[in-house]
Amino acid sequence: MIDSFNRNITYLRLSVTELCNLRCRYCMPEEGVCKKRHEDMLTQEEMLLAARVCASLGIRKIRITGGEPLVKPNILPLCREIAAINGIEEICLTTNATLLAPMAQQLKQAGIDRLNISLDTLDEAKYRMITRGGELTAAIDGIKAALDAGFQKIKINTVLIGGFNIDEISSLADLTKQYPVDVRFIELMPMVDNRDFGPEAYVPNTVVLEELPELEPLPHDGSVARLYRLPGALGKIGLISPVSAHFCAECNRIRITADGKVKPCLHSSDEISIKGLDEDGMREKIKSAILEKPQWHGELSYYEKSRAGRSMNQIGG
């Protein structure tokens, strides 16, 4: 469906849970989230209905996200049913990979086409610090299991944080030489509750180009990343710059949260509820959400925080 600014909306990010086994400092509060009442969350049937309605409105790609999708009971049947929806050409899943090792094969069999895996450091102590207690080895085991299961085009997503992982840009990028994976550096987005980060944490992605002058530019592939390759590497390096060079003019996505709110824009507080609606009701609301998608998300910086009104685990990053 075409929105009011002539963008073709073909991509849905469906958050299947707000819960997570980690507590990344830029994403969710230390105490976790106040668990909402079961009856306030979308049921599995409602998630499927919403996905079907979106497909009927022109959505062709669905990313399953959260929270951590792999903590959701019944994630496998949910993936299987979404993968079977007419019109859906690609189904992807974003995960921290710490629970992935025993599930990778089953996710592949359930129809997941591609995985995005979040990994901000290769240092065990720093991993524990940024995730508030996570184990790096579990994430690495997850990545290896995904490769063994035959997942192609795995993307490792690294949030760039000044004073934390700039010194690891080179070693993280080297993963593209060791494994057939892409590594994408994503600018830290200033969510309202990111109290652990001062102005120095918000560094533009150009720092990657300064650290890796040997990067060779690649042609644009229609995604939101600017693409490069290290000489001889198996995978690509992507730079995603939501803060320093927003990509709103090409944004083709909408989001649905686990509690049933359609968010036309990640950084806007606009939310349209589809909880409890039948198919026609959902179609009307999702259509109007697409038509209300704002032109851009407004300035973002340490001083001008996101107007999302939720933490990232409650949106589905």
Binding span for ligand SAM by CB under 6 A among 1-9, 122-130, 146-154, 181-189? 181-189
Contact assessment for residue 230 and residue 173, using Cβ atoms and an 8 Å cutoff: yes
Q: Which does 157 bind (CB under 5 to 8 A by kind): ligand SF4, ligand SAM, none?
A: ligand SAM
Taking the C-alpha atoms of residue 212 and residue 186, their distance in angstroms, rounded to an integer, is 16
Nearest residue (CB) to ligand SF4, 290 versus 315: 315
Binding span for ligand SAM by CB under 6 A among 52-60, 93-101, 135-143, 162-170? 93-101
- Contacts (Cβ under 8 Å, ≥6 apart) of 132: 22, 23, 24, 25, 30
Q: Which does 14 bind (CB under 5 to 8 A by kind): ligand SAM, ligand SF4, none?
A: none
Kindly write out the interface string for residues 22-51 of this chain, putting x where it contacts ligand SAM by CB under 6 A and - elsewhere.
----xx------------------------
CB of 240 to ligand SAM, least distance (A): 9
93 contributes a contact to ligand SF4 by CB under 6 A: no
Contact assessment for residue 173 and residue 216, using Cβ atoms and an 8 Å cutoff: no
Q: Which does 286 bind (CB under 5 to 8 A by kind): ligand SAM, ligand SF4, none?
A: none
* DSSP code at position 235: S
Binding span for ligand SF4 by CB under 6 A among 31-39, 66-74, 81-89, 270-278? 66-74
Taking the C-alpha atoms of residue 233 and residue 178, their distance in angstroms, rounded to an integer, is 8
257 contributes a contact to ligand SAM by CB under 6 A: no
Taking the C-alpha atoms of residue 47 and residue 37, their distance in angstroms, rounded to an integer, is 17
Nearest residue (CB) to ligand SAM, 65 versus 121: 65
Among 66, 238, 260, 264, binds ligand SF4 (CB under 6 A): 66
**Sign of the alpha-carbon torsion through 43, 310, 262, 96:** negative
19 contributes a contact to ligand SAM by CB under 6 A: no
Estimate to the nearest angstrom the gap between the alpha carbon of 242 and the chain centroid: 13
Classify residue 39 by burial, with Cβ atoms within 10 Å: 0-12, 13-18, 19+. Answer: exposed
Strands of 253-256's sheet in order across = 216-217, 226-229, 237-240, 181-187, 154-160, 114-118, 90-95, 61-65, 11-15, 253-256, 261-263, 272-273
Binding span for ligand SF4 by CB under 6 A among 21-29, 105-113, 146-154, 270-278? 21-29
Taking the C-alpha atoms of residue 185 and residue 48, their distance in angstroms, rounded to an integer, is 31
310 contributes a contact to ligand SF4 by CB under 6 A: no
Under the rule (CB under 6 A), what is the footprint of ligand SF4? 20, 22-24, 27-28, 66-68, 96, 118, 312-313
Under the rule (CB under 6 A), what is the footprint of ligand SAM? 20, 26-27, 65-66, 68, 94-96, 118, 157, 159, 186, 188-189, 191, 194, 312-313, 317
